Amino acid sequence: MIITILVSACSGAGTDRRLAKINELTSTSPREALDSLAIIDYVTLPEADRHYYDLMSIKANDKAYVVHTSDSIILSVVDYYAHHGSDARYAEALYYAGRVYSDLGDAPTALRYFQQALDKLPHDKDLLDFRANILSQTGRLLNAIRLNEQAIPYLEECLGIDYELPDTFGIVYDNRLLGAVYLHLKDYDKASRYISEA
């Protein structure tokens, strides 16, 4: 929840306070966030708020495990934030582009957006949990397409952040994921160590 508040505060995003509140809801109650978006009259919003609305819609759907089926909205959002707003907001748009393309089955494009999000994300201690999300998604996707060795540095950095925060869910999830990577590589000692840690 801290990340959503920080990204909202740092971005100079939308003037509509309802959207800032919805941003806070996306992590804790994505269905409620979607319901709140549905009652906003989109066409009356100024341009900046329309793009923010679109990003919140994609984010809430992603958090609610709704599979993305089109890239048209996220491409418009990415293009807008490439020229407006903060680096943190642009990194968030790039990350969700990666999530969209991951759902669409286009792993190379998803990985490209995840890497761009990592490159653009400010090195800010308050954004560490967001950085961990990007690293974890990158490692997960690399593992899924059997680029197992390439997944390791992303997941190792992610685990370092998990322990630093500390994020107990992330510690369990990312240890299990790194264990699965080493299983695919037939390094059973390391696999066992990470899975036991999870």
Asked whether the whole model's pTM tops 0.75, one would answer yes
Could you report the per-residue pLDDT of 121-165, keeping only the tens digit for each? 998 899 999 999 999 999 999 999 999 999 999 999 999 999 999
pLDDT at 1: 40
Cα Rg of the chain (Å, integer): 17
Question: Which of residues 1 and 84 earns the better pLDDT score?
Answer: 84
pLDDT of residue 16: 82
pLDDT at 92: 97
Mean pLDDT across 82-102: 96
Strands (E), the chain: none
Q: Which residues of 170-185 are buried (b: 16+ CB within 10 A; e: fewer)?
A: bbebbbebbbbbbbee
Q: Which pLDDT does position 15 carry in this prediction?
A: 59
Supply the CATH classification number for the domain 1-122. Answer: 1.25.40
Model confidence at 13: pLDDT above 60: no
What pLDDT is attached to residue 105?
Answer: 97
Q: Find out whether 158 and 170 touch, Cβ atoms under 8 Å.
A: yes
User: Cβ of 86: how many Cβ atoms within 10 Å?
Assistant: 17
User: Are 61 and 33 spatial neighbours (Cβ–Cβ below 8 Å)?
Assistant: no
Give domain limits for the chain. 1-122, 128-198
Q: In 3D, which of 79, 30, 24 has the Cα closest to residue 50?
A: 79
Q: Is the pLDDT of residue 91 over 90?
A: yes
The one-character DSSP state at 125 is: G
Nearest to 103 by CA among 70, 149, 126, 59: 70
pLDDT band at 183 (very low <50, low <70, confident <90, very high): very high
pLDDT more than 90, % of the chain: 88
Q: pLDDT by residue (tens digit) across 23-75?
A: 999 989 999 999 999 999 999 999 999 999 999 999 999 999 999 999 999 99
How far apart are alpha carbons 143 and 84 in whole angstroms?
A: 34
- What's the mean pLDDT when you consider all of the chain? 92
